[in-house]
């Protein structure tokens, strides 16, 4: 990673030297304890972390910006699809903000009652001896009747 990024040769040299020194220490130290390895790792972290952070910063920022932009796009698509489904059922989008009469800590409750919900298609429930069949929009699922009695 340190070689493929735009970083000064001095910092690149420090990281390479510390990594090579760590591998040399691992090869030479045969009876090291777990604490010795942790101490060595802490030393390498102290020496190399600022240089590695600087090397990876631009790449990580670009990834975060890309994830943010994709999230915004997906949120807009979901919002548009949500209102398209509601418009199919004759429910119009709210144009003015909702007036909240009682201020609560949770502000989403008034929205639940401001927009009506479309009617969902019915679910058929057919119970036989050992199995129950659920039908929804032409699809059928067979479930053990014992499953419904579990607590």
pLDDT tens digits, residue range 102-149?
666 666 655 666 677 777 788 999 988 889 999 998 899 999 888 877
Q: What is the average pLDDT score of the chain?
A: 84
Two tokens, residue 89: 């059922």
Q: Quick one: which H or E segment has residue 25?
A: helix 9-28
Angle of the 9-28 helix axis to the 34-88 helix axis, nearest 10: 120
Residue 1's pLDDT is: 62
Q: How far apart are CA 130 and CA 143, in angstroms?
A: 9
Burial (CB count <10 Å: 0-12, 13-18, 19+), residue 54? middle
Q: How far apart are CA 30 and CA 54, in angstroms?
A: 34
The answer to whether residue 35 scores a pLDDT higher than 90 is: yes
If pLDDT is split at 50, 70 and 90, which confidence band does 56 have? confident
Q: How far apart are CA 41 and CA 89, in angstroms?
A: 62
Q: Which residues contact 146 (CB under 8 A, 6 or more apart)?
A: 130
């Amino acid at each position: 990673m340190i070689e493929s990024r735009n970083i000064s040769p001095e910092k690149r040299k420090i990281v390479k030297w510390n990594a090579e020194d760590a591998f040399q220490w691992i090869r030479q130290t045969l009876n090291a304890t777990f604490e010795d390895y942790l101490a060595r790792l802490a030393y390498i972290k102290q020496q190399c972390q600022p240089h590695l952070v600087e090397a990876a910063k631009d790449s990580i920022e670009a990834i975060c910006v890309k994830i943010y932009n994709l999230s915004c796009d997906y949120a807009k698509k979901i919002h548009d699809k949500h209102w398209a489904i509601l418009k199919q059922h004759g429910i119009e989008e709210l144009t003015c903000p909702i007036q909240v009469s009682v201020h609560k800590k949770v502000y989403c409750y008034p929205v639940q009652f401001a927009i009506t919900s479309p009617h969902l298609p019915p679910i058929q429930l057919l119970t036989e001896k050992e199995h129950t069949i659920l039908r929804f929009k032409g699809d059928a699922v067979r479930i053990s009747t014992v499953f419904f009695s579990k607590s």
